[in-house]
Structure formats: structure tokens, C-alpha cells
Copies of this chain bind each other. A is one copy, B any other.
Amino acid sequence: MSNPEPEKMSVPPPETDVEGGEPAAATARSSGFGVGLVLRRWKRDDYMRKGSLILRAFGLFFSLLSFIIMASNNHGDWREFGKYEEYRYVLAIAILSTMYTGVQTYKQVHQLQTGRELFAFKNSALIEFVGDQIMAYLLLSSASAAIPMTNRMRESSDNIFTDSSAASISMSLLAFLSLASSSLIAGYKLSTASSF
């Protein structure tokens, strides 16, 4: 709970003295330490950028699979996804998530290739964090809503309709895991960007 940073930062800097050998060495050491910190931080930021891109690409892949599997889940009679509100919910959220992760992945790839941001919003870190978190909640909610009914259906009959539903729900859950992890990185970025 207690934060040691402010104390560290209010320590007075060592005085620069051209005559004495020891204070100069102390200065060099302290500035080397600062550069090391900055370099380490840049490296970590780089890992985070790549990690965030990979997680969003996984999110895109899984949401797209969930969307395609659920949308093609029509086998006549009672075995049509459109007759159940839970499955319509899964499909709607999978489409939303595909669109969101698609835009985010495209944006990040564009930035990695050209070095410029596609949209120059001031609060893009905040938008990313909120977007990831909300999509993660929606994906989890839709998968949770569809699981009990699918479970009950599979107890009585196990056919291509129930199998496809289960596959689509699993893909939604995997997309949820990707976006939940991605929101951790986005949250970290957001809080370090605005911490001082």
C-alpha cells in the first residue's frame, strides 16, 4: 500500500564537483543508473506493445471463429440458433468483438509499420483499456448465458447443433481470455502514462 517512489524522487541530486574525483564518479554512476532505468523501461514498453498486439490478434481469431461457427449453426427444425435468445446473444457479441479486435489489430500493425498512429486521439490509452475491459465482460457474459441451456440440451441429445454451439461458446471464452489479458496491458500503459 505504501508507495516508496515519492521519497526516492525527493532525494537531492549529488552536486557536480570538477575538482574531486569521487563526487564525479558518483555522478557518473547515478546518471548511468538513470539511463539504465530508462532503457529497461523502453525495452519493457516494447515487449508490452508486441504482447498487446499478439493478444488482440488472438482475440480477433477466436471471435471470428465463434461468429462463423454460430452463424452457420442452422440445421433445420429446432436446431437453429436463431430460435434461442442465448445463441443470438453469443452471435451478436462475437460480431462486435470481431469488429473491435479487427480495428485495434489493424491500428497496431499500422503503427508498427509506419511508426505513426492511425488515429491521434489524446486519450487513446484510456479508450483501449475501456474497450478491452468492456469486450471481455461482454464475451464472458454471453458465453455464461449460453452454457446452461447447451448443457441441458446435450444431456438429452448430442448432435451437430449442440456440438457447434459448444464450439462457438468455447471460442467466445478463449476470446474473453485474450481480451482480459490484453486489458491488463492496456491498464498498465494507462496508469503509467498518467501517473505524474
Q: Which residues of A approach B to under 8 Å, CB–CB?
A: 1, 3, 5-6, 8-10, 12-13, 15-16, 31, 34-35, 37-38, 41-42, 45, 49, 85-86, 111, 117, 124-125, 137, 140-142, 144-145, 147-149, 151, 180, 184, 187-189, 191-193, 195-196
Contacts and interface: CB of A to CB of B under 8 A. Distances in A.
A42 B3 CA distance: 9
Nearest to A49: B1
Copy tally for this chain in the complex stands at 2
15 contacts: A3-B45, A5-B192, A5-B193, A6-B38, A6-B41, A6-B42, A8-B196, A9-B34, A10-B38, A15-B15, A85-B148, A137-B137, A137-B180, A141-B141, A144-B144
Contact of A195 (B38, B117, B124, B195): B195
Given A141-B141, A187-B188, 8 more contacts: A1-B49, A3-B193, A10-B31, A15-B16, A141-B144, A145-B145, A145-B148, A184-B187
Nearest to A85: B148
A67 to B, nearest CB: 19
A34 to B, nearest CB: 5
B10 A35 contact: yes
Contacts of A142: 144
A121 B147 CA distance: 37
Contacts of A45: 3
